[in-house]
Structure 1
Amino acid sequence: MDVLISGASVAGPVLAYWLARAGFTPTVVERTPQLRLGAGGHAVDLFAPAMTVAERMGIVPTLREAALGQSTLRLERPGRPAIDADFTGLSDAFADGSHVEVMRGDLASTLHDVTRDDVEYVFGDSIRELAEDERGVDVVFDSGRTRRFDLVIGADGLHSAVRRLTFGPEEEFHHYLGGYLAVFTVPNQHGTPGPTRLYSTVDRVVATYPVPRTDQARAVLLFRRAAQLSYDRRDVAEQKRLLRAEFAGEGWEVPRLLGALDDADDFYLDSISQIRMDTWSRGRVTLVGDAGYSPGPAVGGGTTLAMAAAYVLGRALAEHRGDHAAAFAAYEDRVRDYVLRCRRVAPRTLRSGIPRSRAQVAFSAAAMRALPRLPSALRHRILADRASGTLSSFTLPD
């Protein structure tokens, strides 16, 4: 069976890998001209389900070599002493090695390397039209090319074109959680290795961390807003102006970071939102990862969820020998509870991660100072009971 997968970031290549092994013929189409290879993008956490998939793909050694290895968090407060917290306990809490933090670009590079010999990749194109009949799906691409496939899978992220073409406008499924995330590259003025440096105030959090093997750092800016911003997602200059306006007058190193915006060619801004759908499948089309159930950028463990769900979908299609109706139903049944658990993580993370008052700013600082000093068993329990515990709670089928 010929299967078209839209999206070459995480879920798409994972699914393509397992489909190729099962005898399918996967094609991955990606709208960007090429992947941002190497240590591009932002840092992502791979918890137990993702690491199990990675182990079965034989890529764990590569991911461990690329791991950030960050364990120290430094809270910097103007006019007050910095607080350094060693969070080695987070790794200790997963003593079986089931947690790794890598740059998204390193993950994408690794997934591309392990699939490129068996999977057709088409870069610089995207799906414009889908027309399904009883025997397949006719696809028209933005380039004007047309091809026919047995199945189409949308792995194309929060703003999925496949979802829009199959299920309707994004507004019907998009649920805003009350905040925004911006990530971009800045010069590393503090050396490597170094701690993740954190600044927080009411409704604002700013963090920087060094990028291994480069002279760069990543700046991460999060902020609350009761109502969504109105802007053109294709107009990066407009988005940078909005970010400057949101953080105007802020202290610490924020002016320097905003000054680096003009030179940042990897700028990313998006709302912290979820995609909520009753079903992710219709006819010969289904969705995987953020396209079908984004739990929320930076707060919901979307990368781990995407890898686990892509594996389950590939396994279902193989088990049901291409009977897409049965396979899609089995896939949805298997991952639905995990999707719902990840969805509940995001609002909690957003509430605790971005202070809503001066009292919460002070409490967060006190908690950060106290946590590393707790007895090891208690610290591990606290860490495992938080978001990391939920994200690690899905057991993949053999």
Structure 2
Amino acid sequence: MAVDRLLPTEEAEDLLALVRDLADRELATRVEEHESTETYPEGLFATLGKAGLLGLPYPEEFGGGDQPYEVYLQVLEELAARWAAVAVATSVHTLACHPLNSYGTEAQKERWLPAALAGELVGGYSLSEPQAGSDAGSLACKAQRTDEGFRITGTKAWITHGGKAGFYALFARTAPGSGGVSCFLAPGATEGLSFGAPEKKMGLQGIPTCAAYWDGAELDADRLIGTEGQGLQIAFSALDSGRLGIAACATGVAQAALDAAVAYANERTTFGRKIIDHQGLGFLLADMAAAVDSARATYLDAARRRDAGRPFGRQASVAKLVATDAAMKVTTDAVQVLGGYGYTRDFPVERYMREAKIMQIFEGTNQIQRLVISRGLGR
């Protein structure tokens, strides 16, 4: 079902129409094949880049779309409704471009940003480590100064697009303490950089997630983004926007599950009536619809605050929490609506349920979001 959206401009309406058409042709027709075989969709991100979908919130002068976050997030939602893994990877790519766009020098932006926004270089975000997930201040991967730049040694974990990305926003320790983390724009092909086998995930299987091993890899000095010790500031400034990306992806998955459940309930009959006409099931579907609409409203509220230049950190945490919890409930209920069929791979709702689970975990677990929100209330 096409979502009845309130978009700010006619240009945005045209963009969403283009996205729906492209997503139906390029994503919906390929998702089952790649998710079931756990194979990477070669060439797909180049297609998204040529359509202008990998640089939507970034400046036109570097090849971006110069679109407000309100519009960009609704594009992500449309992608996620067809293929969550691709939408999440698109959100991560946008996140990986943030350090370069917001903290890079003009020379760095001119050199690398156009290729990233065009999809010639797809980005990965390399912050987490095996022992440092939500606690980013505990990073142990080291960046040691050399005559030519930096030598990187250590292990990074949970990298979306790991081994496939053209560059990584890499966070490594240049000095002891919480102020000793720095940010680098690391090329994907670097001597001394290798990747582990893709994680065997519950969902999002078409895009690899893996660990990275830095074995004394050398980076040129101009790969440092911002100043030494500014890494955590850069990382945290990106994460609020990244949480909105995940909220939009979760809403797209929830919308797809709702659509599948409604379609089935309109076709299936029991006791001489369509099952949607039975009050118990009709009310369940109504609650699912309310949850999807609420999730969309929370991420749009946060996005509009961001677009207006107002603080939006708390609202981003609320949106991530509300949207991903809603997606988990809605997808679980969709399986229930389909009954035994919902538990089979003949229908997509079991995949939606598996995809929704991880969204409560990455970009800061929902327990971390509650911590952020409660601390904000305390202040």
TM-score by structure 1 length? 0.26
More strand by share: 1
More helix by share: 2
Q: Which has the higher contact order (CA 8 A, sep 6+)?
A: 1
TM-score by structure 2 length? 0.27
